Amino acid sequence: MPHGAADAEERRRSAQRKIRKFLARSEDGIGAPIKALRDPNNGMIGMTLTVNRPTLKVPFPQPTITYPQLEKRLLDSVIVECRVFFLATEDCYLPGVVKSLKSLAGPDRARLFKPLTELVSETVRNGRLYSVDGGGMVSGRLEMDNGLGPNQLLGSDQIAMDYIYGVALHEDDDRLARLENVSSAETVNLAVVLQLNNLLNVVEVVRQQVVHDLDTGYVTLN
């Protein structure tokens, strides 16, 4: 086999290997503790606002906001499950999975994957998680440097990555210091839950595309 053809065949096998690993790691059940927090009507995770009726002792309505929370052990277990999708060195790194899918589908069909590529790059790039348009939530103190520079609040993506690499997976002093500026432990927990839920949603979309292309014969793994 000519050298160029051998290289192409190795790239094809590598792409197939990544797709197989991704299918195995993204099976139903992944991230179950996070998914259990989703609203069954819209699949979203949100805060609950409860307003108590006024009484003689408390004549004004008393609003209470309840954050969806996960026990640390469960939260950390989902991080361990999901890190293969956002660590750039992993075969299941989402941008790499989409790249492999496009290479197996061929150049003509690969052009149709632009929306999928953009969705993934908005969520995972450079080995970390991002919020779309900086969305999610923010925390910190405007009158101080929260660890990113003056007058910058910490977005949920930054909070989540600081927790993941400062608490769950490692003990990074700089990240731990930034987490000290977050309003509460509940806020940190919520930020991580929101980011992982967003990641799991994107993983589901990529998996659906992979399964569709396999079922229709656009891509083969043999």
Residue 196 domain flag: yes
Count up the domains in the chain and report the number.
1
Residue 128 domain flag: yes
Residue 29 domain flag: yes
SS3 content of the chain, % helix, strand, coil (to 5): 55, 10, 35
Mean pLDDT of 45-55: 73
**In the beta sheet, which residues pair with residue 154?**
139
Residue 51 domain flag: no
Residue 59 domain flag: no
Q: What is the DSSP letter of 83?
A: H
Residue 221 domain flag: no
Which one is predicted more confidently, 168 or 62?
A: 168
Residue 143's pLDDT band, with cuts at 50, 70 and 90, is confident
Residue 64 domain flag: no
Mean pLDDT in the chain? 89
The confidence score (pLDDT) of residue 132 equals 67
DSSP states along 160-187 = HHHHIIIIIS---HHHHHHHTTSS-HHH
Residue range 173-193, pLDDT digits in tens = 999 999 999 989 999 999 999
Residue 54 domain flag: no
Pick from 35, 13, 20, 64: nearest CA to 197: 35
Show the CA angle centred on residue 171, arms to residues 169 and 174, nearest 5°: 120
Q: Which two tokens stand for residue 32?
A: 């179950």
Domain that holds residue 190: 3-42+70-215
pTM, 2 dp: 0.88
Pick from 33, 15, 200: nearest CA to 123: 200
